Structure 1
Amino acid sequence: MSGMEHSGGRAGEARVKNTILIAGPTASGKSGLALELAERKGAVIVNTDSMQGYSVLDVLTARPGAADLARAPHFLYGHVHPATAYSTGAWLRDVMKLIDDGALSGRPDGTSFERPVIFVGGTGLYFRALAEGISEMPDIPQRVRDRWRYELKEQGAVKLHSLLLREDSASAMMLKPTDSQRIVRALEVLEASGRSIREWQAERGRPVIDRQSARFFVIEPDRAALVDRIEKRFDQMLDKGALDEVKRLSALGLDPELPAMKAIGVRELQAAMAGEIGFPEAIERAKIATRQYAKRQTTWFRHQLGPEWQRLRPGDDLETTI
């Protein structure tokens, strides 16, 4: 059985066969399931969660610990500095580099791959990019990034949205005036390339995985059980040093609008550390935010993932299902 075909040349032409995709809301047990499958099938695991890609936040993003990492090969965990605004496109390029380098197959030419690759995480857009491809985006010079971050601080999102409305009305009309990250992204792309971000997005890329041999699963946990897991997990995170991680992250002096700074628990614990709220309130706020996030993820998966995605529900015999 050939599990990976590498058609040579350009990055992104590789096609990974016999993949297993496991999506699910936070705290649904997907990482544990992926690890169990990896051991049973001799597979490798690739992170498909935007927050688990950032360094520093080992505990707060529920990344696999050292013991789990030793049980199966894991890729793209904790490899991005929090100062980086990591994107779906950047993640997909990292995946394609793993393929092109032969890292997933263990062979430098990427051939004769005998074990499956498990993509596991909670970021829906990453799964969509894997299965459907993603439009290429232009490289943004650092000076352009810095300029628009500065303008965002000086003028605010609403004024930049007005500017985008004049320069690229089609893109601006698709965005809320308060959506600072997407507004800045559209302005960056426009300045760097001279083209609207919508034009770039319309040029769909090619899927990275071979859909015919792929297996798609999404975990749909019992709501009450998930809430209980979320409550207990956050308490465990605190016991394992989540507060120290937030202190280290805060010491970096990063822009609070960066994605890593918006990880659930960061702002809440920062507020408690600053004396703005008590720690019990901060903990409760973080738990509420996690529950809300899990609900949004579940809704997205239910409406955005197609019929090829098999729903895994409580009581399913996973031994025979996957």
Structure 2
Amino acid sequence: MRPAILIHGPTASGKTQLSIDVARKLDGEIVNADSMQVYQELKVISARPDEAEMDGIPHHLFGHVPAGERYSTGQWLEQARPVIEDIQKRGKTAVVVGGTGLYLLALTEGLSEIPPVPEDVRHEVLEIAKADGVRGLKTRLQVVDPEAAARIDDNDRQRLGRAYEVWLATGTPLSRFQNRRSNPVLNPDEWLGIALTPPRAKLYARIDRRFEGMLMEGAMEEARALVSLGIDPELPAMKAHGMPWLSAFIRGEIDAATAADNAKRDTRRYAKRQFTWIGRQFPFWPRIPSPDPATRLRVVSALYKEVDR
């Protein structure tokens, strides 16, 4: 079976274009590893590739989950496993692409078997975060799970909240669960990982331009449709890049310029955290700093020849 190619990088770094170029050159099929591109209703806001971009190349696990559902890493892994195996059995190259590093980590290192967290515990942690702020949440986590607290960024409310709710629900630190992983889907000799690391100034400028382009392509209309569904604002789909600020504008709480500026700012901050994730979690993955598509394709092709022997 041909080794899989895993493409990771910060948002707006050109992962989609590279995945399509690689799949076309190496007779591949693309598997989504982005936690927002799984949602049906988030086509524009998640920058999901359209039919023209796909260029006839099979794409898997894109837009198959209703926005009103909570979709987990475990669910993705369960669905990705047979898809990747099927691609490989047919003699093709599985190109797994996305900005959700946890998906790729689970694929290559296994998944922690964490029990489900009851909804009442989720709401309790949400109220704590609202009352004490992200700093208060971090302080609480430092007491019960210092290992997880040290690993999670101070401003990452979602991951801090996740770690604290696991402890509240189980009495066991999240870090302890994470140290006990299931077997990976892909063994070390069955995949090649690539991290895109373009210059940050250029990436941040591209993030701003892309968001403006999204607005022209219908992001506001997409946000209005989501808000009209009455979906719980704490569900992942409602926290997609820009969605909280577009929702606030739709509710009349802020003006359009403020919504756009805040959405761009938060997306740039998210990209910064993704750079940090790459450095910590994927220290040995080859980096491609060049933003040039042709250069990226040449590098991936050369590296793939080394592993596909």
TM-score, normalized by length of structure 2? 0.81
CA positional deviation for 1:202: 2.9
Q: CA separation of 1:183/1:172 partners in 2, compared to 1, >3 Å: closer, same or farther?
A: farther
The answer to whether structure 1 residue 182 and structure 2 residue 163 are counterparts is yes
The aligned amino acid for 1:47 is N
> Where does 1:149-188 land on structure 2 (aligned, <5 Å)?
149-152=122-125, 170-171=144-145, 174=148, 179-188=160-169
CA positional deviation for 1:297: 0.9
Q: Secondary structure at the match of 2:288?
A: strand
The answer to whether structure 1 residue 291 and structure 2 residue 268 are counterparts is yes
> Where does 1:19-30 land on structure 2 (aligned, <5 Å)?
19-30=4-15
1:313 corresponds to? 290
- Of the two, which has the highest radius of gyration? 1
* Contact in 2 for aligned 1:47/1:77 (Cα 8 Å): yes
* Contact in 1 for aligned 2:145/2:174 (Cα 8 Å): yes
Which of 57, 63, 66 matches 1:81? 66
2:179 corresponds to? 202
Question: Aligned partners of 1:232, 1:156: CA distance in 2, in Å?
Answer: 32
Q: Percent identity?
A: 38
Q: CA separation of 1:215/1:152 partners in 2, compared to 1, >3 Å: closer, same or farther?
A: closer
Which of 268, 273, 284 matches 2:250? 273
Q: Secondary structure at the match of 1:317?
A: helix
When structure 1 is superposed on structure 2, of 261-270 and 147-156 the one drifting more is: 147-156
The answer to whether structure 1 residue 35 and structure 2 residue 23 are counterparts is no
Q: CA separation of 1:97/1:213 partners in 2, compared to 1, >3 Å: closer, same or farther?
A: closer
Larger helix share, 1 or 2: 2
CA positional deviation for 1:66: 2.1
Question: Aligned partners of 1:153, 1:317: CA distance in 2, in Å?
Answer: 45
- Superposed CA deviations along residues 154-212 of structure 1, whole A, max 9, x for unmatched, are 776779x99xx8xxx74488459x74343334444x2xxx8665554332111211322
Q: CA separation of 1:290/1:157 partners in 2, compared to 1, >3 Å: closer, same or farther?
A: closer
* Contact in 1 for aligned 2:29/2:92 (Cα 8 Å): yes
TM-score, normalized by length of structure 1? 0.78
* Contact in 2 for aligned 1:230/1:290 (Cα 8 Å): yes
Q: CA separation of 1:180/1:253 partners in 2, compared to 1, >3 Å: closer, same or farther?
A: farther
Question: Aligned partners of 2:106, 2:192: CA distance in 1, in Å?
Answer: 15
Q: Secondary structure at the match of 1:249?
A: helix
- Superposed CA deviations along residues 12-60 of structure 1, whole A, max 9, x for unmatched, are xxxxxx1111111111111011011111111011111111112211100
The aligned amino acid for 1:36 is D
When structure 1 is superposed on structure 2, of 150-159 and 285-294 the one drifting more is: 150-159
* Contact in 2 for aligned 1:157/1:183 (Cα 8 Å): no
* Contact in 2 for aligned 1:246/1:270 (Cα 8 Å): yes
- Superposed CA deviations along residues 284-321 of structure 1, whole A, max 9, x for unmatched, are 11111111111211122123212243434245723432
The aligned amino acid for 2:40 is S
Question: Aligned partners of 2:183, 2:16: CA distance in 1, in Å?
Answer: 27
Unmatched runs of 5 consecutive residues or more in structure 1: 4-17, 106-110
Question: Aligned partners of 2:229, 2:165: CA distance in 1, in Å?
Answer: 22
The aligned amino acid for 2:66 is H
Question: Aligned partners of 1:153, 1:21: CA distance in 2, in Å?
Answer: 34
What is the total number of aligned residue pairs between the two structures?
287
- Superposed CA deviations along residues 215-267 of structure 1, whole A, max 9, x for unmatched, are 22111112232122212211111111111111121122222222221111111
1:65 corresponds to? 50
Question: Aligned partners of 1:115, 1:214: CA distance in 2, in Å?
Answer: 13
Question: Aligned partners of 1:199, 1:295: CA distance in 2, in Å?
Answer: 27
